[in-house]
Chains A and B, each alone.
Chain A
Amino acid sequence: MELELRGITKQFPGVLANDDVSLTARSGKVLALIGENGAGKSTLMNVLSGLYQPDAGEILIDGVVQKFGDPGDAIKAGIGMVHQHFMLVPVFSVWENVVLGVEPVKGPGIMNRKEARNEVRDISGKYGLAVDPDAMVEDLPVGIQQRVEIIKVLLRGAKILVFDEPTAVLTPQEVIEFFGIVAELKGRGATIIFITHKLKEALAIADDITVLRGGKVAGHADPHTATPELLASMMVGRDIDLTVDKEESTPGDTVLQLSGVRMVDDYGRALLDHIDLSVRAGEIVGVAGIQGNGQTELVEAITGLLPIEAGKVEMLGNDISRYSPRQRHAAGIAHVPEDRNHMGMVGSFTVAENLVLDSYYATPFSSRGLLHRDVIRESAEHLVDAYDVRPPLIDNTGNALSGGNAQKMIVAREFSRDVPLVICAQPTRGIDVGSIEYIHEQIVRKRDEGKAILIVSTELDEIFALADRILVMYDGRIVAERKTSETTPTEIGLFMAGKAA
């Protein structure tokens, strides 16, 4: 089925989220929809899925104008959404999840379990989506859970499949498998819309590319001729340099040293085991790995947010294993946390308050228990300016900032401290290309000032762009260490997937 959007316009109070957006997704083809956060991708998808009604414009399927009053109408018309965050019940089996809401019955209120199972088996066989219908969803790896989501929308008769950032949670190997599934769906005539901010993936998989910027269509691109740089500049409206310029590192003394660090959960299972690592002044060490392999715990072991069971954390030769988070902060650790909204800031606090969230207790921001508001405000004015936080209004709440600007605020807070060790967890997750470029520059600048930097990222591109040395985490251990200049993304990708070194 061919999907066409004509002049879709959607206005929110104060914001024109979609402005005369027109695009076409062809049958048996993949349309990649790219754009920065806030470019209007989500709004457009919500219009398409019937969640929002557009103020103007129309949706056509095979040339017929559609009216979607609610998401049910869109599903009936053959549109299926695969969300970035899966909508699955973890303690249900695969087939139970798939038929949830459309259970086949053999009498009033009595589910036909056999038929349900068969339906699931049919679809997974037909599209090559290998998955055990009786497996418990919580036991499945993320890539397989995504297949369950795809089976769900196919069972509901979807001919137009919309994937929202589908590769964000996948390993490099799973991404390859996912591309295989997309090719299979394509071959069977499905229309596919692929929303992403990963330009290389868009170029690899799409037949057509549409770029959104500021709620408008910024242009269309042909994946055979376009380059990532071209797409990036279409997205932000100016030239973008995706490579990070940096000199060869000249590492100095060891700043951070972990030896034999072990951390266990409440049930005694190891979250971290035998962690040995060091970070020296003037180098960037990148920790690669698929989300959930102990990176979060590693950062929290260093920053003191979670206790370690064995081993030692040393900074500049001092054992800080028993220091509280506050003591470690004071000892000179700056930390950009991985979860911006949940940890990095207090959404209801002003920008000025957030900029002293972890340093309010020390001079010059307070003395004898009293906050020095004038100093805090003056420093905030300086920081929003120096770190390009937009809008530069220090009395705005943190919630009012876009993801990229909230992250710049957090980077400003942590990087403005003149301390020997900087830890950045997922420093650019979910933020726009312009902010990524800026934050990467700041990280390299920090390195060149002679600071020791530890980067944790699930984005392999980011690790390769920034790190001088790469560590790979798998299942709570460091399974490989390579100099960036002496390895390849393919090799690191294999380690990430658990292939032994």
Chain B
Amino acid sequence: MSITSPDGKITIEPDDGPGASFFRRLTQATDWKSGFVIPLLAVFTALVIGAIIIMLTGSSFTEMIDAYLALLKGSVGSLRAISVTLTEATPLILTGLSVAIAFRAGLFNIGGEGQLLIGGMSAVLVGFSITGLPWFVHLPLAIAAGITGGALWGFIPGFLKAKTGAHEVIVTIMLNYVAYRLVDFLLKTTLFQREGRNDPISKNIMDSAQMPALLQWLDPAMKVNIGLFLALAAAGFVWWLLFRTNTGFEFRAVGANPSAARYAGMSVTKVYILVMMIAGGLAGLAGTGQILGVLDRASPGFNAGLGFDGIAVALLARSNPIGVVLAALLFGGLNAGGQYMQANADVGIDLISVIQALIIIFVAAPALISAIYRVKSNASATQISQGWGS
């Protein structure tokens, strides 16, 4: 609910915090230039600075080139490398979508970590505890459990935001901590803990709950599995939901202008709850894919920062579902290539984190990129025309 001063001049809108314009830029710049050129230039600039960092740490120019060649080879240089890239990208697509869809409705979902963990734990529980089912029943059941777990974890901040106004950023961060410790605790219970083990590790899932790998007939080390198709389908689903359905129309309206949405008879509270459940479900599916497709069991920290990386992916993609897939592939490729680079070129994988961070900084500060490359950014053009208009 907004508060308007008696003379109508000052309106305080709880959703119009200092970050509001930043939000708008992230979710609304969908034109070709700011949606594509700026992110590409950001990636390029980050790679250049990464090169400088490599050389500053005592490597020669040729060593730097070797490192980048290794990065390229490790990400797309072989079928095996591509498999690693795709496996790395799969959960990032899903956590990226989770953040992106919430962004579109004006919410900042920092809770991907927690939602992913609870989703993964739900999936692992169904995955190991039910026996005797054929895979085409067991696997969908485990996936559904994972989505549901994440959705429930997303429901909490959505509900609290809608009914009490509790800021979703605070609540989702806190729920991450709850989820971390809950997982530690659950993994020590007899329900989850593997027999004969003292450390917190779950039982292995049944074969019937495993996501089939796609290329293991070629090379058993290739872990890319049908989770990739689930993630791509999820991206298609999010795009369709946002741009083809009434619900998506409401999400976007609430995200862009909650007052106008309320005026138009939309239920802002319903949108907040629903979008957080969908966001949670997507992150839960990411955790599910990790458990059922890659790890086969749960252990502390299986979230591996994927929830937070999803924020970076969504930022780079400007919350566009198709962009999320591309951004996740980029980040997946950087992760995959980084591992190879570390092993083969004597440059630590930490550099990859630096590059990824730089990309996000440049995307978040497009004025910087516009200044460096003298690209007219859409944001400043809008400002000029607005100043002229009245």
Contacts and interface: CB of A to CB of B under 8 A. Distances in A.
A272 interface: no
Interface string A325-360: 110110000010111001111111100010001101
Contacts of A338: 8
B198 interface: no
Give the bracket for the number of chain B residues in contact with chain A: 35 or more
B265 A324 contact: yes
A13 interface: yes
B389 interface: yes
Contact of A346 (B6, B9, B256): B256
A169 interface: yes
B11 interface: yes
A262 to B, nearest CB: 17
A469 B8 CA distance: 25
B389 A357 contact: no
Max chain A C-beta neighbours (<10 A), residue from B6, B8, B260, B384: B260
Interface string B358-390: 000000000000000000100001101111111
Contacts of B249: 353, 360, 371
B252 interface: yes
Contacts, number: 106
B197 interface: no
A42 B386 CA distance: 11
B253 A15 contact: no
Nearest to B266: A326
A403 B389 contact: yes
B390 A343 contact: no
A344 B7 contact: no
Interface in B252-287: 252-253, 256-257, 259-267
Max chain A C-beta neighbours (<10 A), residue from B257, B382, B384: B257
Interface string A371-391: 101000000000000000000
A343 to B, nearest CB: 4
B24 interface: yes
A201 B9 CA distance: 23
A349 to B, nearest CB: 7
A162 to B, nearest CB: 15
A337 B384 contact: no
B257 A342 contact: yes
B114 to A, nearest CB: 30
B265 A15 contact: no
Contacts of A335: 263
Contacts of B381: 13
A343 B246 contact: no
A360 B246 contact: yes
A317 B244 CA distance: 38
A305 B262 contact: yes
A77 B9 CA distance: 31
Max chain A C-beta neighbours (<10 A), residue from B24, B247, B263, B264: B264
A37 interface: yes
Nearest to A325: B265
A349 B245 CA distance: 15
Contacts of B244: 370-371, 373
Contact of B8 (A292, A329, A361): A292
B4 interface: yes
A371 B246 contact: yes
B342 interface: no
B260 A12 contact: no
A291 interface: yes
Interface string A132-169: 00000000001000000000000000000000000001
A37 B390 contact: yes
B28 interface: yes
A43 interface: yes
B385 A326 contact: no
A370 to B, nearest CB: 6
Given A371-B244, A399-B382, A343 B263 contact: yes
B7 A291 contact: yes
Interface in A1-48: 12-15, 17, 37-38, 42-43, 46
Contacts of A38: 388-389
B7 A305 contact: no
Contacts of A358: 263-265
Interface residues of A, number: 50
A357 B264 contact: yes
A17 B386 CA distance: 12
B288 to A, nearest CB: 26
Interface in B66-92: none
Given A13-B381, A291-B7, A346-B253, A369 B247 contact: yes
A361 B260 contact: no
A258 to B, nearest CB: 20
A85 B256 contact: no
B307 to A, nearest CB: 27
Contact of B260 (A42, A296, A345, A360): A345
Contacts of A371: 244-246, 249
A416 interface: no
B260 A344 contact: yes
Nearest to A361: B246
A403 B388 CA distance: 12
Interface string B322-353: 00000000000000000000000000000000
Contacts of A42: 387-390
A338 B4 CA distance: 13
A345 B256 CA distance: 10
Interface string B35-52: 000000000000000000
A346 B257 contact: yes
A296 B4 contact: yes
Contacts of B261: 346
A402 interface: yes
A342 B266 CA distance: 15
A347 B257 contact: yes
Given A346-B257, A349-B256, A369-B247, A12 B264 contact: no
Nearest to A357: B264
A254 to B, nearest CB: 24
B331 to A, nearest CB: 27
A442 interface: no
Contact of A37 (B7, B8, B267, B389): B389
B7 A142 contact: yes
Contact of B265 (A329, A400, A402): A329
Given A13-B384, A37-B390, A369-B245, A349 B8 contact: no
Given A291-B8, A346-B252, A358-B265, 6 more contacts: A169-B9, A292-B6, A296-B4, A324-B265, A343-B260, A348-B256
10 contacts: A12-B384, A38-B388, A142-B7, A292-B7, A348-B257, A357-B253, A360-B246, A361-B265, A371-B245, A399-B386
Interface of B: 4, 6-9, 11, 24, 28, 244-247, 249, 252-253, 256-257, 259-267, 376, 381-382, 384-390
Interface of A: 12-15, 17, 37-38, 42-43, 46, 85, 142, 169, 291-292, 296, 303, 305, 324-326, 328-329, 335, 337-339, 342-349, 353, 357-358, 360-361, 366, 369-371, 373, 399-400, 402-403, 430
